[in-house]
Structure 1
Amino acid sequence: MILTNNGSERLFKKSSLTVALSSILLAGFSFQGVAAEEGEVKKVERIEVTGSRIKRADIEGSSPVTSIGRLAIESSGVQSIGELLQTVAQADLSGLSQLTNNTNGNDGSQTISLRNLGDNRTLVLVDGRRFLALGGGQVDISQIPIAIVERVDILADGASAVYGSDAIAGVVNIITKDGFEGVSLDATIGANFEGDGEYKQAGISIGTIKGDTSLFLNISKSEDKEIGAGDRDISSTPVAYIPEERGSAFGLYGIFNTSDGFKSLDPEKEGAGVRTADDFESFGTKHRYNFAPTNYLKTPSERLNIFAKVNHEFSDTLNAFVDFTYNQRKSVTQIAAVPIVAGFSGPQWEIPYSKDNIYNPFGEDLASFGFRTLPIGPRTTIQDYDTYFITGGFEGEFEVADTSFFWDVSMSRGDSSRNEHGENFVNLQNLRNAVGPSFIEGGVAQCGTEGNAISGCVPLNLFNGETGFTEEMANYIGYELNNQVKTGTTNFSANISGEIFELPAGFVGFAAGYEKRTNSFVDNPDSVVAAGLSSSNFSEPTNGKQTAEESYFEFAVPLLSDLPGVQSLELSIAGRFSDFENSGFVGTDPITSKFDNESFKFGFTWRVYEDLMFRGNYSDTFRAPSVDNLFAGGGEGFPSTQDPCNTTQFPLQSANTQALCIADGVPDGGSIQPTGQLRSLNGGNPGLQPEEGNTTTFGVVFNPSWLEGFDMTVDMYKIELNDALSSISAAGMLNRCYVQGESEFCGFIERRGDGRVATIRTSQFNLDKLEVEGVDFNANYAFQTQDYGNFNFRLNGSYTGSYRSAGPDESINDAVNEVARIDSDILRWRGTFNTTWSFDDLVVTWGMRYTSEITESCSIPENFLEDGIATRELCNMRSAISEDNPSGLNRIGSVTYHDLSASYALPWQASVRVGMRNIFKKEPPVALNPFGNSFYSVHDIPGGTWFVNYKQDF
């Protein structure tokens, strides 16, 4: 569905066809020129469209491309590119929403994932060129202000041969404005119907053309206010409608593992006075802590964007250009205060509460204890991003034997710096001091022992609830952390395209080029975190670089034309050759690696007659592992894992496994494993190879001449991916090394001198297979009336038939058709339908957004409602009981959202637009398995939104 088509790169010359191309609103498969006046010779303009590097006079191609034009963008009332792409049926929304749905919140960035294959398998381009990527290879599209966007092309096809790595699921090409003259002021305000989540945006665009030089400048600033999880019923508790049972065990009344069992302070005993063991009672539901309300449901952020574009024509055949983007973003994430989990987590939390601490009423050392550090405050992380990206180059045209050839050479450089400042974390060394022995001297509580006091230390009282936790105590154990992340990229590209010779059916088009890219990623964690002394898990630094050199070719070969049943038949062929060099560190060890790839694409377009066309592609796809995949520093975790070489498991193992354990330093009979958790460090793997696969598409385009203004497309797709990256858990590493005898995995396991596991490094490997099948469909119908205005209807939909993955054991999971995997919120159906009515200066758009049902496993026992723990039944398919789902299932119904906007052109070169999204305030269905709230990110935050926009041109 092509709503507008102005070309994906700059045009060197102006012709009458420019007007025609920019006015195509439907599929764009029937090209209409503008007749030249008699005796006038017009040069046909050739443009490059998304999906091909060949500049051509027509816009037909074998690849399915959906375009969202400027009018559709403005009518939608969206505030960002991310919000716009949420309406694309092929997008799975996983990185687009600002919804906080993970442990550490959302930092305000937005990334695009197509086909549920992940944002690192979707390539994002700006004006047909690569943009600055994050360490994982994905692009933060929030850096592109929506005010500068002319249109967005979504290529739902594998495009590795045309564009290189990462284009497995498809390509999103953001086309910026060009040729703008004048001054335009733009301002928008909006908010949630509930009165929160306010949004403000203001910008100015300036464009001028002086002789052979054109300039476009846009400066915009926007501000998003937060929405608190506690401000919506569905997210005010960890699981909706269960007020306490699912709260954290680490609350304000403590949990202390005493010789008499787990004890907590009786809430009625909190207050002044000296605590005794009699003030404590067995831990129960009333001692739990509801951590949900403190979290942000929507992340607040502020953005400043500066975008500039300069073009200078030296002649009709030579043009120079410079594009510059600067983005500054400040965002804040907030989650509940740190839970002290001493003795319940990893080795750095092995901090006993001393019996000699002046506040300890139990008279015994407490190896395990917990408390919610609410007096310190919620964990707040302030992210400060600064990003710039600049591209400069030349483009031109030359003729050989009356044939035009187009060329361009460009260089890009981009850098991003992210400084993270975290407040209200806990310094574990200070915590150890504060719960250790203490004494009173001169009426002042001090840490340590008499004659050996710890300077500056304040003993900690966790035995009198929030009342006993003073500001002085909070100041001593609390601390602020600082992390810094830097990414950089340098790109060089040179391209040439043209028509090389003529066949009976037409000219053969070609394109070829060379690219060289270097991406770097550096992550420097806080020094206290890196030392393993922070309540935030230990993390190693990351330092890596990747350089890619690529060359490509592409041909468009017309085979037949003007025959019965074959108005035209064209074959397209493309190929790309890639070499990658990688260097970085894993831990403190420098590592280098190399790999290469060859990708090819074959496609066809067969126009049967003017109204009907078939198209198809078979393409190789690949994704090179990113710097983060290869060299990410290890992040600490403590999964529940049994070492097959421990004293319990060792006697149960085969003779071969026992021998492998002994060879690795384990004593005969096994090593001691004191707890059920083992320390793991999840990081990069420099031995990774590219993910490789293929994509097949077949589609039909129908433009019936008997129904003017109507067109439709239907495209079937199948994506097969081999050697997909898949993580192996700590248990998997141990099993593969010792039980299965795969020696290459033993190097990831570090043991102490006594044979105990010290650390297991977990990572990703090229193990899985993925297969995704489905159908995309688009339809447009536009007509004009003499008395009632003009109407335009658009339908964009996607159907996922299957989403299968297979691991090394060849077991297959289907995320669409098997309940065990449907919790991933992969939708079978997704679509949008928009109706636009224009009458004189008034334009009204009604939009509908549809998501199909989801089935999730039920994690709530049936007795919760009977016992009054839950206030309503949360699982609507209790009868669907299985071994994997002993409590049945929960079916989340389909949802349709309605959006409405209207704009009116005012006489003084201005326009006003008002709109509402989710005008009926449709509530999201209750889900049980998302973290931190009770609905999936495919659904809107509860409560619709309104906006008002004013635009003034000069």
Structure 2
Amino acid sequence: MNKLPKRYFFSKICIALSCALSIPVIAAEQNTENNVAETEIERIVTTGSRIKRTELEGVVNVFSITSDDMIKNGFSSVYDALANNTAATGAVLGEVNTGSYTPGAKELNLRGLGPEYTLILVNGKRLAYYPMPFGGQTNFVNLDMIPTAMVDRIDIQTGGASAIYGSEAMGGVVNIITKKGIEGQYIDIDGGVDTYGSNRRKSVSFVGGYSKDAWTLDYALEYKDNAGLFSSDRPYHDSLWDNPAPNGNRELNRSITVYSLDTPTINNYSTQYCNTETNPHPKAVQHFIQRNNYGMSCGWDETGDNHLINKNQTFSGYLNSEYELSNDLTLFANGFYISQEKKGSRGTLFFNDTEFWDPDLANKDGSQGASVKYMWRKVLDNEYTNDGYGRTFKDTSYSFNFGVMGQVADLDYSLGFSRSEYDFSDRYLHNTKTGLSSVLGEKLGEVNNLPIHRPNYGLWFGELTPDSALQIADWATYQGNSFNNTFTADITGDLFELPAGPVAFSAYIEFMNEGTEAIPDERVLNKEFEGLTGVTTKGERDRYAAAIEVLVPVTDTLDIESAVRYDYYDDDSNVGGAFSTQLGLSYRPVEEVVFRTAMGTTFRGPDLAAVYKGFSGNFGAGNDRILADACKQLANSDEALEYDASALATSCANADLQSNPDQPSLQVNFESVSTGDKSLKEETGSTFTAGIVYEFNEYLSFNIDYYDITIKDKIQVLSAGYIMSIDYDCQTGVFDSNSERCKNMASRIQRYDGAGNGTDRLGNPISGDPYTPHTITEGYINASERQDAGVDIGVKGLAETDLGSFKYQFNLTRTLKKKERLRAGDELLDLLDDQNNMDFRTLANASVTWEHDNTAISVLANYKGALWNNANYGDRVKLPAWTRYNLTLGQQLNEDARVIFTINNLFNAMPPQDETFTGYPFYRMGAYDTLGRQFSLRLTYAF
């Protein structure tokens, strides 16, 4: 059985940055009998195909990032390397968005299609999903849980590949290849800090390998520690004075508030209780706000309290081993384990929206007593914790793969079993309804149907302790688990000979069992926490697949590849079976030029979350146009059909009838809920790519590849806003109100009656403004269509001179088409230049590496194109492009040691100033960051 030669992670004779880890395609073996060098063509498997081949260029574009590239370009993790790829044009949530469902995870958004459309693999095997759905809706892989030390290279295929890999591979495939054949033992010590003295990082890794006779072993152990980063660590957003709007609000926050519309000023009790001599608080101050008649207020500048990077500690281990039983049979096993703890800012807000009567307040009409509509207070994490971190995430994950591989009748085969599992927990403090009741105190009677309370304002305004905080709140917890078990078998080789060469094939079968479970604190679901909602998911399914791929050399210059795959979903959805096909060709008219193209069909089965989600909740707001029209009618005629005029007038007090008289508005608050839908079917689509690769010589090569991706029957969330909009159209005659569509939309909206009474999802009585919606039931539907197209350009080369070698690389992605149809029958909208399109249209990077003797210098420029600012729709303009530079210096100290110094974001570039972005962090999260200039020093020692 032919084998690849040993791969070298670190060579004692290579200089600091030139330890190339590219895949060798020719292995030289010594002829011991004749002492004649004999060259044997070695075949390998590349990402995007399962056929072993001698040519690296296939019918699709595959971009590779080696571990050496990661070091040269200043990328310290798999996520960093992927997020800086030019195909990652879409926005993500990330750690800055602490209010999301997944603030402890990092996701990849290729082509702006969404994380769920990129398949993430390790050595061709699927990873377990992050148990909490992205945005509460879709499954994805957390790239922050991939051990960096084990990575040899990362292959990125930016196009559909369902015929090879099955579901999820509609927008791209990322295949992380781990280190194998390591010779020697190596230790890496890395430390870093930013230009402000924050974001302190340290890591240590041990990597090595052993071999003896027929047995090999590779390993990687890694520990990482990051002290985290607060918004106060950056001048860009450490103060409310950083608000870029010329006329922006620069008032201190109303962090602790007793809110009443019946009193002379809206805010109350600040003078009596806000950081007084008898009731101190570590940060709050009394300050006067004239705007909106707020009056004397209590609070502080909260801008610097937010987290940019969670404090985290990560430990991981990786093993790979092979044992050759004979020339034709080898046992293999590999896997990794990673454990991570993250701590971040919770930004806890205690909030009470139960209106009550305070008999001690002076009413603005001169009487005694007034209603209190709201009470809230911001809680500092260090008030109730020892370390100042109010939220803790604990994640553990492992993946392993074992089996046999060998040869039979000149065919290569493998049989294997893999398992991947992910466990997740989340813990944070939140106020309970019982705790808020204890602050309000006992009910002393009623006034105007409102309960009378004399709250403990001293507790509400004062500094909390762990004990007093737990009088009002309690720890809420989330648990989650996901897994997959997969058995695979494949065989590949040559079928027969044609004049131009052998016809090669690959056949593959797969059996998978996968499941997920997200378990929130039971009290969250039972509404025992005030204003807190969550998501539950529990489901399991089996999937089966069979695929075949054929490579036919039609002539010496023309190859045709075809693939077909059948996937069957044994679950409660409507997928059943799905075929995927692919046809591609590569034409090499001369040795230096390759024309390539591929077209195929793609599919994606419904997410486990979409099928098996038990409940997901959010608190939303929107324009109730139906009620706004009724308010306009009431204002014009003192009556409104189907409504009690006096009850309606209560709700209409908040209506805006003047800004646009033809379209009055009424902003309402509600709870939106959604559940999984077992009637969902698979998403279908198509992919087309075409390109040219020109390899003139070692000094210059380039590729230009066009891609076109279409997704149909896209699973779309029926959002509350969409439901309210369609319901309005149904009520006003745009659609037939008796149609099933209109009846369905109307049934999803639950409103308070004329007395302001309603029933929540648990059957509990609730009250609010008459006739306004209190619950809107969202859902899933196969209806949307998405079309994307663009071009990827790559240029690279190597020049050897007397002054050293110069290696350069340039990559650019330009989006040419972005269209979407939300529902069947809707118009196909062109979103490419739409002002709501917040995906980058152009991304590029360029790097130059100079090497001479034992010294090397590498510079990377990372370019993000223009993006819309945050002005009102119709008034937006493009912000300037954003470019950051990384500088890496490497020095080989001796045969056993090298040192590398890296400066990321060399010129400390901050996001383009957007004077229309008036809220923290004053830039668009997921598109930019304010990490700034960062220094790191890395020492590698071989022993």
* Fold-level similarity (TM above 0.5): yes
Name the aligned partner's letter for residue 853 of structure 1: A
**Cα deviations by residue, 1:891-934 (Å, 9 ceiling, x for unpaired):** 32112211111212222511111111111112221244597412
Q: Compute the displacement of 1:130 (Å).
A: 1.4
Q: Distance in 2 between matches of 1:528 and 1:708?
A: 64
CA contact (8 A) 2:263 2:361 kept: no
Partner residue, 2:545: 550
**Cα deviations by residue, 1:321-371 (Å, 9 ceiling, x for unpaired):** 11121111001221423042x33xxxxxx3535548999999536351232
Name the aligned partner's letter for residue 83 of structure 1: D
- 1:171-182 equivalences in 2 (<5 Å): 171-182=173-184
CA contact (8 A) 1:848 1:897 kept: yes
2:672 pairs with one of 671, 680, 692: 680
The structure-2 alpha-carbon separation of the partners of 1:932 and 1:625, relative to structure 1 and needing over 3 Å to count, comes to farther
Whether 1:74 aligns to 2:71 is yes
Whether 1:408 aligns to 2:414 is yes
The structure-2 alpha-carbon separation of the partners of 1:545 and 1:292, relative to structure 1 and needing over 3 Å to count, comes to farther
2:329 pairs with one of 304, 318, 321: 318
Q: Compute the displacement of 1:99 (Å).
A: 4.7
Q: Compute the displacement of 1:487 (Å).
A: 1.1
The structure-2 alpha-carbon separation of the partners of 1:93 and 1:594, relative to structure 1 and needing over 3 Å to count, comes to closer
Partner residue, 2:901: 914
CA contact (8 A) 2:253 2:302 kept: no
Q: Distance in 1 between matches of 2:681 and 2:239?
A: 43
CA contact (8 A) 1:228 1:296 kept: yes
Moved more, 836-845 or 538-547: 538-547
1:131 pairs with one of 127, 139, 142: 127
2:395 pairs with one of 385, 392, 396: 385
Partner residue, 1:101: 97
1:806 pairs with one of 821, 825, 845: 821
Q: Compute the displacement of 1:161 (Å).
A: 0.6
Whether 1:481 aligns to 2:497 is no
CA contact (8 A) 1:697 1:717 kept: yes
Whether 1:713 aligns to 2:699 is no
The structure-2 alpha-carbon separation of the partners of 1:17 and 1:525, relative to structure 1 and needing over 3 Å to count, comes to closer
Q: Distance in 1 between matches of 2:814 and 2:345?
A: 36
CA contact (8 A) 2:273 2:458 kept: no
Partner residue, 1:837: 850
CA contact (8 A) 2:60 2:596 kept: yes
Partner residue, 1:630: 611
SS in 2 for 1:912: strand
Q: Compute the displacement of 1:701 (Å).
A: 0.7
1:85 pairs with one of 77, 82, 96: 82
1:121 pairs with one of 106, 117, 134: 117
Q: Compute the displacement of 1:816 (Å).
A: 3.3
**Cα deviations by residue, 1:32-76 (Å, 9 ceiling, x for unpaired):** 776987866665322110110101233231010111123212222
Moved more, 675-684 or 490-499: 675-684
Q: Distance in 1 between matches of 2:59 and 2:628?
A: 63
Partner residue, 2:804: 789
Whether 1:762 aligns to 2:778 is yes
Gaps of 5+ in 1: 1-11, 344-349, 440-447, 450-457, 562-567, 584-591, 653-660, 860-883
CA contact (8 A) 1:353 1:436 kept: no
Partner residue, 2:763: none
Q: Distance in 1 between matches of 2:51 and 2:554?
A: 17
SS in 2 for 1:109: coil
The structure-2 alpha-carbon separation of the partners of 1:393 and 1:932, relative to structure 1 and needing over 3 Å to count, comes to farther
Partner residue, 2:932: 943
The structure-2 alpha-carbon separation of the partners of 1:17 and 1:42, relative to structure 1 and needing over 3 Å to count, comes to farther
Q: Distance in 2 between matches of 1:146 and 1:793?
A: 24
The structure-2 alpha-carbon separation of the partners of 1:234 and 1:35, relative to structure 1 and needing over 3 Å to count, comes to same
Q: Compute the displacement of 1:550 (Å).
A: 1.0
Q: Distance in 2 between matches of 1:88 and 1:685?
A: 35
Whether 1:724 aligns to 2:714 is yes
Name the aligned partner's letter for residue 921 of structure 1: N
- 1:466-615 equivalences in 2 (<5 Å): 466-467=461-462, 473-535=468-530, 537-539=532-534, 541-561=536-556, 568-583=557-572, 593-615=574-596
SS in 2 for 1:502: strand
Whether 1:223 aligns to 2:220 is no
SS in 2 for 1:889: coil
Name the aligned partner's letter for residue 860 of structure 2: G
SS in 2 for 1:161: helix
Q: Distance in 2 between matches of 1:856 and 1:280?
A: 29
Q: Compute the displacement of 1:479 (Å).
A: 1.5
Q: Distance in 1 between matches of 2:205 and 2:49?
A: 34
Partner residue, 1:241: 244
Q: Distance in 1 between matches of 2:340 and 2:463?
A: 39
2:867 pairs with one of 854, 858, 873: 854
The structure-2 alpha-carbon separation of the partners of 1:816 and 1:15, relative to structure 1 and needing over 3 Å to count, comes to closer
Q: Distance in 1 between matches of 2:862 and 2:340?
A: 29
Moved more, 692-701 or 540-549: 540-549
SS in 2 for 1:634: strand
SS in 1 for 2:571: strand
Partner residue, 1:194: 196
Q: Distance in 2 between matches of 1:603 and 1:718?
A: 14
Moved more, 177-186 or 933-942: 933-942
Q: Compute the displacement of 1:718 (Å).
A: 1.1
CA contact (8 A) 1:152 1:175 kept: yes
Q: Distance in 2 between matches of 1:92 and 1:730?
A: 27
The structure-2 alpha-carbon separation of the partners of 1:25 and 1:617, relative to structure 1 and needing over 3 Å to count, comes to farther
Name the aligned partner's letter for residue 776 of structure 1: D
Whether 1:292 aligns to 2:303 is yes
CA contact (8 A) 2:21 2:66 kept: no
Partner residue, 2:880: 893
SS in 2 for 1:74: helix
TM-score (norm 1): 0.81
Q: Distance in 2 between matches of 1:27 and 1:907?
A: 21
CA contact (8 A) 2:580 2:602 kept: yes
Moved more, 772-781 or 366-375: 366-375
Partner residue, 2:921: 933
1:352 pairs with one of 353, 356, 361: 356
SS in 2 for 1:71: helix
- 1:60-71 equivalences in 2 (<5 Å): 60-71=57-68
Q: Compute the displacement of 1:432 (Å).
A: 2.3
Q: Distance in 1 between matches of 2:324 and 2:490?
A: 19
Partner residue, 2:657: none
**Cα deviations by residue, 1:789-847 (Å, 9 ceiling, x for unpaired):** 2111111111112322222253444443122x13x2x1222111111111122121111
The structure-2 alpha-carbon separation of the partners of 1:81 and 1:353, relative to structure 1 and needing over 3 Å to count, comes to farther
The structure-2 alpha-carbon separation of the partners of 1:284 and 1:752, relative to structure 1 and needing over 3 Å to count, comes to closer
User: Percent identity between the aligned chains?
Assistant: 21
Q: Distance in 1 between matches of 2:466 and 2:84?
A: 48
Partner residue, 2:602: 621
Q: Distance in 2 between matches of 1:246 and 1:529?
A: 35
Name the aligned partner's letter for residue 434 of structure 1: V
Q: How many residues are paired up? A: 852
The structure-2 alpha-carbon separation of the partners of 1:144 and 1:684, relative to structure 1 and needing over 3 Å to count, comes to same
Moved more, 728-737 or 189-198: 728-737
Name the aligned partner's letter for residue 413 of structure 1: R
The structure-2 alpha-carbon separation of the partners of 1:34 and 1:642, relative to structure 1 and needing over 3 Å to count, comes to same
The structure-2 alpha-carbon separation of the partners of 1:767 and 1:535, relative to structure 1 and needing over 3 Å to count, comes to same
Q: Distance in 2 between matches of 1:930 and 1:507?
A: 64
CA contact (8 A) 1:485 1:524 kept: yes
Give the alignment's Cα RMSD to 1 decimal.
3.9
Name the aligned partner's letter for residue 871 of structure 2: C
CA contact (8 A) 1:197 1:224 kept: yes
SS in 1 for 2:369: coil
